[in-house]
């Protein structure tokens, strides 16, 4: 048995998107900038995909710029808002301590270029309030960028409330909605979102494609110079099959959002209930206000990497947090941001589900995880020290 429980890292492409892409690669291979009919067929497919995405997001097609994915969209959003601010002498940016690295590393760069960045504290459940944002805004603030849902611990942030505050104060509000898109409702007008990033491979679309929505009037800074594609804001011949695949997958995801969420969150809650019974374990993220598919735990006395390797042998593909930080020995910045100490932040497990997971798979995970945790503890010197009282537990038993 192979169980895929790492849907926050990427998802398997859905049948509908795959079919649409194959069709497109075979028949719609023209360059949409060409004036002849073969080019214009590609331009039409591009326009249809743009209209479809815009309708689902509640914006105008002209407000969408296709990018190579979430990272590029985040980079372009932050740079653009920063440049707009700079021209008005506003160089203060507000974000949170647990954003994706595509946001945090761009903010670091902007700091080096003279911007001031306030990273809001996300508390122990991993959220910020609209009040916190309001209190942090100064006359110098040019941008608030707060993620819709966190990719590691799944907490959902009060985006619409933050949107209202930003609108009132005349500050550009960007949200990294990469984990939310296709899983949580989005309407950029109703939620007062000025800029939004999403990525197809997180909702069963292809990798290497995403988009940046930017409200009319927000002038985008190009990261890639060249031709006049995407209204001059993103040079390079458009990847029509990928764009069509994204639009198809997004349509599917949005069309089944409620029923998927009900199914997935029921499996999630079963996992959370079961894994909570492991001694000295703790759930990370908000217990209620979380992504339907996200489960994230810390287990005391073990090391996340070994846990993942042994789970893989048990047929369970999981992660210890962000795919972007695996391979580095630093504990997750997200777990540190919610106040988990280093020693337990290393022993984390993220299981992220999708509608293709089954109850049988959940049963299997519920057997495999306690077994592997128990085994790793039995060979862990740290666990022995905890048991003999040489070391104090960080996660106390309730
Ligand atoms: C995956 C992810 C990204 C990056 O998206 P890519 O398309 O892989 O570049 C950005 N933000 C969040 C929250 C993500 O989960």
Q: What is the DSSP string of 268-318?
A: HHHHHHHHHTSTTEEE-S-SSSB-TTEEEEEETTS-HHHHHHHHHHTTEE-
Question: pLDDT at position 235, please?
Answer: 93
Is the CB of 321 within 6 Å of ligand 1?
no
E strand residue ranges, the chain: 3-4, 64-67, 92-96, 116-120, 141-145, 172-176, 195-199, 210-214, 281-283, 294-299, 316-317, 348-352
pLDDT of residue 322: 53
Given CA atoms 337, 342, 343, 345 in this order, what sign does their dihedral have?
A: positive
> Which residue's C-alpha comes closest to atom 5 of ligand 1?
70
The verdict on the CB of residue 304 being under 6 Å from ligand 1 is no
Residue minimizing CA distance to atom 10 of ligand 1:
70
Question: In angstroms, how far is CA 272 from the centroid of its own chain?
Answer: 21
Instruction: Confirm or reject: Cβ of 238 under 6 Å from ligand 1.
Output: no
The H-or-E segment that residue 337 falls in is helix 333-337
To test the ligand 1 pocket, which listed residue (6, 70, 104, 183) has its Cβ within 8 A of the most ligand atoms?
Answer: 70
Cα gap 10→47, rounded to integer Å? 26
Per-position pLDDT tens, the chain of length 398: 899 999 999 999 999 999 999 999 999 999 999 999 999 999 999 999 999 999 999 999 999 999 999 999 999 999 999 999 999 999 999 999 999 999 999 999 999 999 999 999 999 999 999 999 999 999 999 999 999 999 999 999 999 999 999 999 999 999 999 999 999 999 999 999 999 999 999 999 999 999 999 999 999 999 999 999 999 899 999 999 999 999 999 999 999 999 999 999 999 999 999 999 999 999 999 999 999 999 999 999 999 999 999 999 999 999 986 554 455 567 899 999 999 999 899 999 999 999 999 999 999 999 999 999 999 999 999 999 999 999 999 998 86
- For residue 85, report the distance from its CA to the centre of ligand 1, in Å: 25
Q: For residues 61 and 50, is the Cβ–Cβ distance under 8 A?
A: yes
pLDDT attached to residue 328? 58
What pTM did the predictor assign?
A: 0.96
Q: Is the CB of 199 under 6 A from ligand 1?
A: yes
pLDDT of residue 398: 63
Token representation of residue 301: 């006395």
Name the catalytic one among 14, 298, 324, 354.
324
- The predicted pLDDT at position 46 comes to 98
Which domains are assigned to the chain? 3-9+257-388 (3.90.1150.10), 15-255 (3.40.640.10)
Name the closest-CA residue to atom 12, ligand 1.
Answer: 178
Q: Give, using CA atoms, the residue closest to atom 14 of ligand 1.
A: 178
């Amino acid at each position: 048995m192979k169980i895929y429980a790492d849907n926050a890292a990427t998802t398997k492409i859905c049948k509908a998107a795959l079919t649409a892409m194959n069709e497109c690669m075979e028949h719609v291979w023209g360059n949409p900038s060409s004036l002849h009919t073969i080019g214009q067929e590609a331009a039409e497919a591009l326009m249809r995909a743009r209209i479809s995405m815009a309708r689902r997001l509640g914006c105008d097609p002209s407000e969408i710029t296709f990018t190579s994915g979430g990272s590029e969209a985040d980079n372009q959003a932050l740079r653009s808002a920063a440049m707009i601010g700079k021209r008005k002498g506003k160089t203060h940016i507000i974000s949170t301590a647990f954003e994706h690295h595509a946001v945090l590393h761009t903010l670091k760069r902007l700091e080096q270029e003279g911007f001031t960045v306030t990273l809001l504290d996300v508390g122990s459940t991993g959220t910020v309030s609209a009040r916190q944002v309001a209190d942090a805004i100064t006359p110098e603030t040019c941008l608030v960028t707060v993620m819709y849902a966190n990719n590691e611990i799944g907490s959902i942030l009060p985006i619409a409330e933050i949107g209202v505050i930003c609108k009132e104060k005349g500050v550009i509000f960007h949200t990294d909605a990469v984990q939310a898109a296709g899983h949580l409702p989005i309407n950029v007008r109703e939620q007062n979102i000025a800029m939004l990033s999403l990525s197809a491979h997180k909702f069963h679309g292809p990798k290497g494609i995403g988009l940046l929505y930017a409200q009319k009037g927000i002038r985008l800074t190009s990261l890639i110079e060249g031709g006049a594609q995407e209204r001059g804001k993103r040079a390079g011949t458009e990847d029509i099959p990928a764009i069509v695949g994204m639009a198809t997958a997004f349509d599917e995801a949005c069309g089944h959002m409620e029923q998927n969420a009900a199914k997935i969150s029921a499996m999630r809650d079963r996992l959370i209930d079961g894994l909570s019974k492991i001694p000295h374990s703790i759930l990370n993220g908000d217990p209620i206000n979380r992504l339907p598919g996200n489960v994230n735990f810390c287990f005391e006395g073990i090391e996340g990497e070994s846990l993942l390797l042994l789970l893989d042998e048990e047929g369970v593909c999981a992660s210890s947090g962000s795919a972007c930080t695996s391979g580095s020995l630093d504990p997750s910045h997200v777990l540190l941001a919610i106040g988990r100490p280093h020693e337990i932040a290393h022993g984390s497990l993220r299981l992220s589900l999708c509608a293709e997971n089954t109850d049988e798979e959940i049963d299997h995970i519920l057997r495999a995880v306690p077994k592997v945790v128990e085994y790793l503890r039995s060979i862990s010197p740290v666990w022995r020290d905890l048991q003999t009282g040489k070391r104090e537990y960080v996660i106390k038993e309730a």
